[in-house]
């Protein structure tokens, strides 16, 4: 195993660099394909979230691999390599496994213990499988990482606070008040209908907002989300607001149904400007390459909001904006506009870095859970390494047994020529006896060599076996290729593979 990861995250780079380095659209696919085309890499996968970009590869040369992967990250992120290099980290072999398992368990997240990273790991694996850039090593690695993450969440209370980047962001907006108390009765606008936006919409619905508008480029997706939330919270049916119709027409309906449940609506994204003046809370997380909400649009919405009849909006309250996109959706100038309270990824990174900022970081229970998860990660890293090292010698053992079977077959054929008068029963008995002798001679050494190979530094035993028995390297390679094809042909592993 020559696993290499090169990446940057909120722990190594400022948000301003992460924002510029964000991979959008099909850039992730292009990156892994170009990585596989590079000489040192035989497999590749990319993990890209709002606060990390990591490139995983199986390489045959460490230094050449680091140089190539770093260069590729610079090329595809658009951040010059000289500028990017100080923020890059490198992990190799067991340290790379330890890093991914820690990430999957939420230990390296901005909000420790958040579970959304599991879905992002699945997406990274699915992309590698779809593009055929993930081979045996990365398939095994990412599937095992998913199992480790699920084990950490099921065996510990690492997620006891139910935290996610969304809930952490809403807590920052609430400024110390309970989120449910702060959000109750307000109107919320969620821009986007992806996983993060969907989580934000669901969280706001549970918190008790009176009206939830979901704006998305694909209207059908927004409608499905709105209908689902409306049904879950016993609300009036979701509705599509046709283009050109005044969104404020539903204002009275929203107020009247406050006691009955949530009013959830879906609108196309080009209706955001019409919805903005009526929203008390705005959450945005899209894959757009440019700004979704500019400072000018926000000032216009504030002016329109000020013209609304008294009592339409909470008195004296700022409009709360939560930007979870990378690169940002909401103009950073919103921080300086009176009447707006913007929390973005940079704000969350600063809050999480404060001693009392990360949720539950000072709680003894959380500290104990983190220690338990670290123990799980260490155990799983050791087990994964042993399994990989043992798997490394399997093709050599198979090739040895195949060679032994060929020798037996050759000698039995020679015996037939020397003793042509043997009947079928006699020939079968001799053949079985010879096979038993060979099996018994090979059994103890092959079992022992597998045990030795699973220990650190055990890779040399495969080489020794090949040298001692003069095994054909091509025969060993053929077994390896067949084993790799069998593994990658079944991506939907029910024990933790592709969903």
Q: Note the Cα 219 to chain centre separation in Å.
A: 26
Q: How far is CA 7 from CA 76, 135, 160, 281, 424, in A?
A: 13, 20, 29, 34, 66
- Residues 382 and 93: beta-carbon distance below 8 Å: no
- DSSP characters for 383-420? HHHHHHHHHHHHHHHHHHHHHHHHHHHHHHHHHHHH-T
Q: Indicate which residue of 50, 105, 285, 308 is catalytic.
A: 50
- CB-based contacts of 100, cutoff 8 Å, min separation 6: 5, 47, 56, 121, 141, 142, 145
Chain position carrying tokens 């969280």: 203
Rounded distance between C-alpha atoms, residue 172 and residue 149, angstroms: 27
Contact assessment for residue 286 and residue 191, using Cβ atoms and an 8 Å cutoff: yes
Distances (CA, A) of 160 to 153, 206, 348: 9, 17, 20
Contact assessment for residue 169 and residue 324, using Cβ atoms and an 8 Å cutoff? yes
Spatial CA neighbour of 282 closest among 176, 195, 209, 358: 209
- Active site includes 308? no
* DSSP-assigned beta bridge partners for residue 92: 4
CB 355 within 8 A of CB 362: yes
Within a 10 A sphere around the Cβ of 23, how many other Cβ atoms?
A: 19
Helix (H, G, I), strand (E, B) or coil at 52: strand
Between CA 482 and CA 416 the distance in angstroms is 33
Q: Which residues are catalytic?
A: 50
């Amino acid at each position: 195993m020559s696993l290499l990861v090169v990446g940057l995250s909120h722990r190594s780079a400022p948000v301003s660099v992460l924002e510029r380095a964000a991979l959008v659209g099909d850039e992730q696919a292009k990156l892994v394909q170009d990585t596989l085309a590079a000489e040192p890499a035989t497999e590749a996968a990319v993990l890209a979230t709002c606060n990390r970009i990591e490139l995983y590869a199986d390489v045959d040369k460490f230094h050449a691999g680091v140089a190539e992967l770093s260069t590729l990250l610079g090329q595809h992120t658009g951040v010059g390599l000289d500028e990017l290099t100080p923020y890059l980290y490198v992990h190799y072999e067991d340290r790379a496994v330890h890093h991914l398992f820690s990430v999957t368990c939420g230990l390296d997240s901005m909000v420790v213990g958040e579970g959304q990273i599991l879905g992002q790991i699945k997406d990274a694996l699915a992309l590698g499988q779809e593009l055929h850039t993930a081979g045996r090593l990365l398939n095994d690695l990412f599937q095992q990482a998913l199992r480790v993450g699920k084990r950490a969440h099921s065996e510990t209370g690492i997620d006891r606070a139910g935290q996610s980047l969304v809930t952490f962001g809403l807590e920052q907006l609430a400024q110390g008040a309970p989120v449910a108390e702060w959000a109750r009765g307000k109107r919320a606008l969620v821009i986007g209908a992806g996983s993060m936006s969907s989580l934000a919409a669901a969280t706001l619905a549970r918190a008790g907002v009176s009206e939830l508008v979901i704006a998305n480029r694909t209207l059908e997706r927004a409608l499905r989300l709105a209908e689902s939330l409306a049904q879950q919270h016993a609300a009036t049916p979701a509705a599509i607001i046709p283009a050109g119709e005044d969104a404020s027409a539903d204002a009275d309906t929203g107020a009247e149904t406050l006691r009955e449940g949530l009013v959830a609506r879906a609108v196309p994204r080009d209706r955001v400007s019409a919805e903005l003046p009526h929203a008390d809370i705005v959450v945005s997380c899209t894959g757009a390459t440019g700004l979704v909400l500019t400072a000018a649009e926000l000032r216009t919405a504030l002016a329109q909001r000020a013209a609304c009849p008294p009592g339409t909006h909470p008195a004296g309250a700022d409009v709360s904006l939560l930007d979870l996109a990378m690169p940002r959706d909401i103009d950073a100038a919103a921080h300086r506009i009176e009447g707006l309270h913007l929390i973005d990824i940079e704000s969350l990174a600063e809050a999480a870095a404060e001693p009392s900022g990360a949720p539950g970081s000072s709680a003894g229970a959380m500290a104990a859970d983190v220690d338990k998860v670290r123990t799980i990660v260490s155990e799983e890293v050791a087990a994964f390494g042993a399994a990989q090292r043992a798997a490394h010698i399997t093709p050599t053992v198979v090739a040895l047994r195949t060679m032994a079977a060929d020798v037996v077959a050759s000698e039995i054929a020679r015996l037939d020529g020397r003793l042509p008068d043997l009947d079928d029963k006699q020939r079968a008995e001799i053949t079985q006896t010879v096979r038993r002798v060979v099996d018994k001679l090979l059994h103890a050494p092959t079992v022992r060599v597998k045990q030795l190979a699973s220990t650190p530094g055990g890779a040399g035993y495969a080489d020794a076996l090949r040298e001692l028995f003069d095994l054909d390297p091509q025969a060993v390679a053929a077994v390896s290729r067949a084993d790799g094809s069998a593994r990658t042909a079944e991506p939907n592993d029910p024990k933790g593979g592709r969903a």
